[in-house]
Chains A and B, each alone.
Chain A
């Protein structure tokens, strides 16, 4: 057996998604992109429509609440697919709180971190909305 270990550095340009990360960091708001042609709203916002390929969609506020579509539990954490209010598709993220509450259709709300840097992890996770 031959064993090797290397450390490789990478730096990725966020491009059109920069507006999403900036808004999340600076104002704690979630931005989606709305396609001018097919009206599909994608969150996180991005530079072109994933459905029809049209460029430079407009940005719109989405969430911060949404509906839990599906979820799973790992030893380390719970994860869910969240359909954010105002957006098509779903966002994969962590679920916070007691495990026994998770069910499809549950209303959830984004919990933001106190110290945000412009990362998807500025959202700490999604918590069940109080009844």
Chain B
């Protein structure tokens, strides 16, 4: 079965995605609980309040969790399986309260192993098109 979809992103994601093209990351902050949420979405799930306060988020932060995956999974963007092994992390970007799950640059054998709390930063694609994978992965900062 060949399946093709085209999804409209909605206003909040549209602003977020256009920002990614400019290497700009923005979150929406709930005015009730103060939580700065990525990805941005129109409502705060906990408070059930509309969110409209945009805040700037850095493209670097702290590594909260990580894994190295050996099981092939399909890349939704390309429709092809991702090469293994690859590393994934949960990153709390400076300026956001939620964490972002994204790829991590695989640690080289000579580098220290992935450590919780390590500072990581985004590695951006040269040809950005306004999508979450305009960030290729996060790398541990020296």
| Direct touch of chains A and B (CB < 8 A) | yes
When A6-B74, A8-B1 are in contact, do A1 and B79 touch as well, CB less than 8 Å? no
> In this assembly, does B110 line the interface, its C-beta being within 8 Å of a C-beta of chain A?
no
For chain B, the count of residues having a C-beta within 8 Å of the partner chain is 14
A1 touches B7 (CB 8 A): yes
Determine the chain A residues whose CB is within 8 A of the CB of B76 once the complex forms: 4, 6
**Bound CA span A6–B131, Å:** 18
Cβ–Cβ < 8 Å partners of B74 in chain A: 6
Flag if A5 contacts B79 (CB, 8 Å): yes
* B 26-49 to A, binary, CB cutoff 8 A, 1 in contact else 0: 000000000000000000000000
The residue of chain B having its C-beta at the shortest distance from the C-beta of A7 within the complex is: B2
How distant is A9 from chain B, measured CB to nearest CB, in Å? Answer: 8
Q: Which of A1, A4, A7, A10 contacts B9 (CB 8 A)?
A: A1
The answer to whether A2 touches B6 (Cβ under 8 A) is: yes
B3→A6 contact, CB < 8 A: yes
The answer to whether B111 has its CB under 8 Å from any CB of chain A is no
CB-nearest residue of chain B to A8: B1
Interface residues of B in 51-100 (CB under 8 A from A): 74, 76-77, 79
Measured between alpha carbons, how far is A95 from B18 in the docked complex, in Å? 52
Q: Give the docked Cα–Cα distance between A7 and B8 (Å).
A: 21
Asked if A3 is at the interface of the complex by the 8 Å CB criterion, the answer is: yes
B→A interface (CB under 8 Å)? 1-9, 74, 76-77, 79, 131
